[in-house]
Amino acid sequence: MTVQIVPQPALAPPLAEPLSPDALEAALRAIGAARYHDLHPFHDLLHGGRLSKGQVQAWALNRYCYQAAIPRKDAALIARCTDRDLRREWLHRITDHDGSGGDPGGIERWLVLTDGLGLPRDYVVSTKGALPATRFAVEAYVRFVQEKSLLEAVASSLTELFAPSIHRRRIAGMLENYDFIDETVVAYFRRRLDQAPRDADFALDYVKRHAVTAAQQQAVLDALTFKTEVLWAQLDALHHAYWSPGLIPPGAFRPESGEGVS
């Protein structure tokens, strides 16, 4: 009895020779083109106005788990970094999300979004209604940054290279398609349009300068692939629970009856 294992086109064979910095950048961008979660059908549903308010609520309260974990992830990177310049550069990622001085920060802007969707803050912050698969994926990301090499930890942030275009589509699509979405609640995404490219450019430059051997470059490519899996798995879980087939796990958020699952 034999079975043919279908080749996986997005998984290149391990690098035998080091790439030039520009070829490494091209390989990283190819991973985004094949695996970034802008390709996931749940995003088409979200941006295209196909979801009920209850389904948008489910998306927002699950995605909150990811937002809320980012400062821990970035602190984990700083915690293991002996390079003061890199620590200084990385620190603003924490304040971008946690806020500082007069800036309430990205997590607060996310809660403005869940407020606007009518979700009680304490319920969102408790993460009690989130899908277990969301928490597992998010915590896998935090742990990856704690445990892998610093270079891999930096590389795992590179999905931000691909974020601005999906944020632009999200802002336009959600404002146009949902009467419960207005400018106030998309403030998170507007702000990320400025923040993400700056961070992505820094991390890309860092990776291109520090990943010089074939093994280092392979580790960087694998780190970005891992991160795309973290993002994709969260949308798979949402799609399965709240769209098709609509199997909500025990204990997870259930949209109000009448506006719920398709």
State the residues that interact with a second copy by CB under 8 A. 1-6, 8, 10-11, 34-35, 41, 57, 116-120, 123, 128-129, 131-133, 135-137, 139-140, 143, 180, 225-226, 228-230, 232-233, 236-237, 239-241, 244-245, 247, 249-257
Query: Which residue's CB is nearer to a second copy, number 100 or number 262?
Result: 262
- Residue 50 beta carbon to a second copy: minimum distance, rounded to whole angstroms: 14
Query: Which residue's CB is nearer to a second copy, number 36 or number 206?
Result: 36
- Residue 79 beta carbon to a second copy: minimum distance, rounded to whole angstroms: 16
Query: Which residue's CB is nearer to a second copy, number 136 or number 168?
Result: 136
Query: Which residue's CB is nearer to a second copy, number 83 or number 118?
Result: 118
- DSSP for the chain, written as a single string: ---PPPP-TTSPPPPSSPPPHHHHHHHHHHHHHHH-GGGSHHHHHHHTT-S-HHHHHHHHHHHHHHHHHHHHHHHHHHHT---HHHHHHHHHHHHHHH-BTTB--HHHHHHHHHHHTT--HHHHHHTTTS-HHHHHHHHHHHHHHHHS-HHHHHHGGGGGGGHHHHHHHHHHHHHHH-TT--GGGGHHHHHHHHHHHHHHHHHHHHHHHH--SHHHHHHHHHHHHHHHHHHHHHHHHHHHHHTSS--PPTTS--PPTTS---
- Residue 14 beta carbon to a second copy: minimum distance, rounded to whole angstroms: 12
Distance CA 145, CA 139 (A): 10
Half-sphere exposure of 118 (CA within 13 A, CB side): 9
- Residue 53 beta carbon to a second copy: minimum distance, rounded to whole angstroms: 8
- Residue 2 beta carbon to a second copy: minimum distance, rounded to whole angstroms: 6
Q: Return the ∠ at Cα 43 (arms to 207 and 242), rounded to 5°.
A: 125
- Residue 242 beta carbon to a second copy: minimum distance, rounded to whole angstroms: 12
- Residue 90 beta carbon to a second copy: minimum distance, rounded to whole angstroms: 24
Q: Closest Cα to residue 231, out of 166, 180, 168? A: 166
Query: Which residue's CB is nearer to a second copy, number 156 or number 206?
Result: 156
Query: Which residue's CB is nearer to a second copy, number 6 or number 16?
Result: 6
Query: Which residue's CB is nearer to a second copy, number 3 or number 16?
Result: 3
* CB-CB contact of 230 with 141 (8 Å): yes
